[in-house]
Amino acid sequence: MPDRAYIPGDEARIMTIQRYIAEMERIHPDATGEFSTLLRNLALAAKIVSREVRRAGLVDILGGASLTNVHGEDVKKLDVFANQMIINAMESGGQLCVMASEENETIIPIPEEFPCGHYAMLFDPLDGSSNIDVNVTIGTIFSIFHRVSDGERGTEADVVQSGDKQVAAGYIMYGSSTIMVFTTGEGVQGFTLDPTIGAFLLSHPNMTIPKRGRYYSVNEGNRMLWDNGFRRYIEHLQTPDFESGRPYKSRYVGSMIADVHRTLLYGGVFAYPADESNPNGKLRLLYEANPMAYIIEQAGGRAVDGSRRILEIEPHDIHQRTPVILGSEEDVRVAEAFIAGTR
């Protein structure tokens, strides 16, 4: 595996996502190829969604559809397209027994005409969709489990599992470039789409998050709604103390993928804590918090709900919410101390 990013002209060292998956299969003799095929199909869906996101402003796909999703939120046409594209790309492959999506109230069964596989996948087809019309970075988040049910078809139990049981998780970010970042439990790899050849190329091998950063990322419009401990934590970050690198810089896109990706690369903390209007937090545990927490922990960081690891939370509902504080380990532990009142 190359130990540095791809350099143009360095063709001999091009590592496409296909070659990477094949390499992973080769070094895991028990690999059946089913998981590899699943990742390849997901990469294909990502390329198609990426193409539509890039064209959105040109083919009048912008603007709200006359639909709302299960949460009563105005669903943009691109959400609908991305959701259906991913379902179409994944349901026929034979690797999945069931899916679940932010856009669907209940599980998405695999149609009878297709074989049932050994995996279950949850996804947020287009996270940050409120930013679609203003051309701000959005993305797809996914979380993959082994199935646990043993019937003919998959069930809700296959997707309502704790984050520690994920076998893979990641995101595709449609930003200045399209990048697919994922983990299969052996570190975090980033692949950037080269649209001229339609291939994802390994651009960020073995991603690790700095142990501490200089950025915090939170919606400060909720400041008066936070509990006292979290508010004191943010004030701590804003208090000048040049020896300890404070004040931190504030960065907030409003698309979880963009804010988490920057935190992964630069360090610091991203948070959407509980507040008076969102007592359980705003972000969804199964298809937003869990996959991002798996990525961050695999990169050497920490991801909590304020008092425990997100990946330990025992879920009860596909769409349940959780507070999220994730990022550099040292930064998150300081946040936890303020929330616990020990600082």
Q: Name the site residues for ligand P6P (rule: CB under 6 A).
A: 127-128, 130, 219, 254-256, 272, 282
Instruction: Please say which residue, 221 or 341, places its beta carbon nearer to ligand P6P.
Output: 221
Instruction: Please say which residue, 137 or 189, places its beta carbon nearer to ligand P6P.
Output: 137
Question: Least Å distance between CB 263 and ligand P6P?
Answer: 11
Instruction: Please say which residue, 16 or 219, places its beta carbon nearer to ligand P6P.
Output: 219
Note whether 97 and 120 are within 8 A (CB): yes
Instruction: Please say which residue, 69 or 184, places its beta carbon nearer to ligand P6P.
Output: 69
Question: Least Å distance between CB 254 and ligand P6P?
Answer: 5
CA distance 233 to 343: 9
Question: Least Å distance between CB 101 and ligand P6P?
Answer: 14
Instruction: Please say which residue, 261 or 302, places its beta carbon nearer to ligand P6P.
Output: 261
Instruction: Please say which residue, 50 or 69, places its beta carbon nearer to ligand P6P.
Output: 69
Question: Least Å distance between CB 216 and ligand P6P?
Answer: 14
CA distance 250 to 253: 10
**Taken in order 58, 59, 60, 61, is the CA torsion positive or negative?**
negative
Strand positions, DSSP E, the chain? 64-68, 74-76, 96-101, 108-109, 119-127, 138-146, 168-174, 178-183, 188-194, 199-204, 215-217, 249-250, 269-272, 302-304, 324-327
Nearest to 204 by CA among 215, 217, 193: 193
Instruction: Please say which residue, 237 or 256, places its beta carbon nearer to ligand P6P.
Output: 256
Note whether 154 and 148 are within 8 A (CB): no
Question: Least Å distance between CB 127 and ligand P6P?
Answer: 5
Note whether 102 and 94 are within 8 A (CB): no
Question: Least Å distance between CB 114 and ligand P6P?
Answer: 30
Cα separations (Å) of 25 from 37, 167, 186, 189, 215? 10, 14, 13, 15, 37
Which residues sit opposite 170 in a β-bridge? Answer: 142, 182
Question: Least Å distance between CB 285 and ligand P6P?
Answer: 12
Q: Edge to edge, what strands does the sheet with 96-101 contain? A: 108-109, 96-101, 119-127, 138-146, 168-174, 178-183, 188-194, 199-204
